Amino acid sequence: MMSESTTAQRTVAVIGCGGRGRAHAEGWQHDARSQLVACADPVEASRDDFCEHFGDMHRYADYTEMLKAESPDIVSVCTWTGMHREMIEAAAAAGVTAIHSEKPMAPTWGDAYAIHSVCQEAGVVLTFCHQRRFGDTFSTARDLLRNGAIGELRRIESTCPNLFDWGTHWFDISFFYNDETPVEWVMGQIEVAEERKVFDVQLESSGLSWFHFANGVEGLMTTGDASDGGLHIHLIGSEGTIELQLRDRDNPLRLWRGSGCESPAFTSGVPDAQHTVASCSDLLTCLDSGTEPELSSRKALQATELIFATYESSRRRARVQLPLTAPDSALLTMLADGSIEIPA
């Protein structure tokens, strides 16, 4: 994956030196077109450990000081979701060329839309790390689909732990398999039976999202206690089914058609450990060519809208036509106003 391009290296700074910050750093170090020059984290031990792994670089406790002092070309934002908006807006205002952020986009729909809009207006390329688009299991499944292995795609069914953190990946991959076709409406229901948080954002304990694409394909996602506890995606076609079973490391991809089941060989994509590396290289390639990155904020916004439209449908007890207009997170609002109470 190392580039042979003669293009000048782009300088990169990482905000957040935890596990995902390290994953991004591996990607930037893997590609000769980028150079890690700085990191920021309020925890000194995290900064020091990061530099032990990736080499000595300028390190900052305050990311705003880093942006001012370093003027990097690219910034990776690898912090908790509630911090994304202020950090991305600060990076855009600092004049960076591109921002590669962790997902989910933001805790509310209004914040997610604002992040995308600010970068669009500033001419900053913004991506979110829905890195599974680069995976060999996921990419091979799309090859099979596009080559007509199951006829015409009719339905996408999936299960995962929650709508927000895992669900953003599964909603995103649904667009990946349906050629980025827009969704027209969403109908959903959620339950909050206990406190479950990720990145300090409350999740549903059970969820159901039914969504309808403009080309007639339907999507159905079940989460948490409403699912079987697995990480499944079923692409159901007119002549068979492609099944992704992500907890089955030995046989994650199956093709059902006729009376039998096949285990197709991978035809494209990269192994799990290289997903984020591929996301960094794709962004660099697109900066050089001026094309839209595979993980653009435009695509991330599509997936994010389905999360909050599902919450909104549960609040309204009705189907929600897109585009979504409610700027909040209906889940967080219902918890705040007592419409949903977490059992003691």
Mean pLDDT of the 205-216 span: 97
Within-domain flag for 259: yes
Residue 116 lies in a domain: yes
312 shares a domain with 257: yes
**Dist CA 177 CA 138 (whole Å):** 9
2 part of a folded domain: no
In a domain, 124, yes or no: yes
Q: Assess whether 279 and 240 both reside in one domain.
A: no
What pLDDT does 7 receive? 57
Distances in Å between the alpha carbon of 177 and those of 21, 64, 82, 269, 337? 28, 39, 29, 14, 38
61 shares a domain with 174: no
Let me know: does 96 contact 76? Beta carbons within 8 Å.
no
List, for residues 114-170, the tens digit of each pLDDT value: 999 999 999 999 999 999 999 999 999 999 999 999 999 999 999 999 999 999 999
Residue 342 lies in a domain: no
Judge if 236 and 287 occupy the same domain.
no
**Longest CA–CA separation in the chain, Å:** 64
Peptide bond preceding 271 in cis form (omega within 30 of 0): no
Q: Please tell me whether residues 50 and 195 are part of one structural domain.
A: no
Instruction: Kindly state the DSSP code that residue 135 receives in the 8-state scheme.
Output: B
Co-location of 115 and 174 in the same domain: no
Do 204 and 191 touch, CB atoms closer than 8 A? yes
Measured at the CA of 131, the angle between CA 93 and CA 222, to 5 degrees, comes to 110
For the residues of 99-166, what is the DSSP string, one character each? EEEPSS--SSHHHHHHHHHHHHHHT-EEEE--GGGGBHHHHHHHHHHHTTTTSSEEEEEEEES-TTHH
φ, ψ at 319 (rounded to 5°): -70, 140
| pLDDT beyond 60 at 318 | yes
* CATH classification at residue 152: 3.30.360.10
Say which CATH number the domain at 100 has.
3.40.50.720
The range of the structural domain enclosing residue 116 comes to 10-131+274-296
Q: Say whether both 44 and 99 belong to one domain.
A: yes
237, two tokens: 């076609």
pLDDT tens digits for 289-313? Answer: 999 999 999 999 999 999 999 999 9
Instruction: Give me the numbers of helices (H) and strands (E) for the chain, helices first please.
Output: 10, 17
Q: Which two tokens stand for residue 227?
A: 């699912």
Q: Are residues 96 and 143 in the same domain?
A: no
Instruction: Classify strands 58-60 and 125-128 as parallel, antiparallel or unpaired.
Output: unpaired
pLDDT at residue 6, as a whole number: 44
Total of domains in the chain: 2
DSSP 264: P
84 within some domain: yes
Which pLDDT belongs to residue 229? 76
Q: pLDDT for 40-82, tens place per residue?
A: 999 999 999 999 999 999 999 999 999 999 999 999 999 999 9
pLDDT higher than threshold 90 for residue 28 = yes
Which two structure tokens, joined as six digits, stand for 273?
């450990």
Name the residue with tokens 């001419």: 123
For residue range 224-247, list pLDDT tens digits in order: 988 877 899 999 999 999 999 999
